[in-house]
Chains A and B, each alone.
Chain A
Amino acid sequence: MRRRAQRKALKVNTDLKLMPLMNIIIALIPMLLLSAVFLEVKVIETSLPRDADAAAAAAEPATPPLDLAVHVRGDVYVIEGHGVSPLLVPRRAAAAAPDSVATQLLSQALRAIAAAHPGTTEVRIVAEARTHYQEVIALMDVARGAGLVNAALEGAGDAGAGAPPTGGI
């Protein structure tokens, strides 16, 4: 009788005490959800042309470089380069980025030029002072999609490759 009572007294409750863990998790989840950023931030790496590049550009090579450029003008994008006849692509003047038709036309033209000039990876994007940043990034994307991975930024009033506001992807 006494043994039975002792056995009864030694019985341990083996259930897990989950409430403290629950409390921690419930406090953690809203905190993380509030502070989490679900948008992925990426970067386009750029660097400005060095003086050495300018010097190299100044030295006259046997064949003139392609010097491909996409100019952003009022209502048109102009693709220009040595040995490439200027190509005009309509642009919506007030748009923050090229529309799908312009994007497709630009992409096709740049792909064709890149295919015709193997090894070309450079393009200048010549933007106007009031051009939106999103439009510049969109043009860099189009160029990169066409295989022109080294896109340089330039202001419409600048002197060229050595001018200050330039960069490459």
Chain B
Amino acid sequence: MRRRRSRASGMMERYTSDGGLTLTSMMDILTTLLFFVLKSYVSGGEVTVPPPGVTLPRSSVNADMHTSVVVAIDHDAIMMDGEKVASVHDLVASDELMIAPLAQRLTEARAQMDDLAKRKGEKREVSRLATIQGDAGIEFRVLQKVMYTLDRNGFPDIALAVLKKA
């Protein structure tokens, strides 16, 4: 009886592991992945995500984006800083080049920028850059009106956001 018990315990000892996982290889993979993701996350310039529903046109241009006021245009609306400002339908129906609600928002944004610059004590002129994130499928007349409104409301430097062609 005692011999059988000792044989059983011997077998148990042989087949039982300590329960630890071999994590080294998984750690290597995860660490490599983490660095890859972090590197591609901020690769230079301004990080931007086009709003949902906007598919940017593709271009071979290579200039990075800078901090600016962002005006997005999709098939239904014109948005500034993520908020809907005007409807594309109304805009197309109108003969006016100036988009009044957008002009008002731009004036506010400009005043805000000036105020901030004054508080910071900046002596040089504040950069008036606006970026247009337009959907590839929008009509030129819509882009035309947005560009005109930007220019006439103190944002003469306009950048057209595009996706870099592979």
Contacts and interface: CB of A to CB of B under 8 A. Distances in A.
Genuine A/B complex = yes
A144 B140 contact: no
Contacts of A48: 147, 151, 156, 158
Contacts of B64: 42-43
Q: Of B30, B57, B64, which is in contact with the most chain A CB atoms at under 10 Å from its CB?
A: B57
Contacts of A133: 57, 134-140, 143
A65 B87 CA distance: 40
B63 A45 contact: yes
Interface in A101-146: 127-134, 136-138, 140-141, 144-145
A40 B43 contact: yes
Contacts of A36: 37, 40-41
B162 A42 contact: yes
Contact of A131 (B40, B49, B140, B161): B140
A35 B41 CA distance: 9
Given A41-B50, A43-B65, A29 B30 contact: yes
Given A32-B38, A41-B65, A46 B30 contact: no
Interface string B121-150: 000000000010011111111011101100
Size class of the B contact interface (CB-based, 8 Å): 35 or more
Interface in B23-56: 23, 26-27, 30-31, 33-34, 37-38, 40-41, 43, 47-50, 56
Nearest to A28: B34
Nearest to B160: A44
Say what secondary structure dominates the interface of chain B. mixed
B30 A25 contact: yes
Contacts of B160: 43-44, 46, 137
Interface string A139-169: 0110011000000010100000000110101
Given A133-B134, A145-B60, A46 B144 contact: no
B77 interface: no
Interface string A14-52: 000010011001101100110111111111111110100
A37 B49 CA distance: 7
Contacts of A45: 63, 157-159
Contact of B59 (A21, A33, A131, A137): A137
Contacts of B144: 129, 153, 155, 164-165
Interface of B: 23, 26-27, 30-31, 33-34, 37-38, 40-41, 43, 47-50, 56-66, 97, 131, 134-141, 143-145, 147-148, 151-152, 156-164
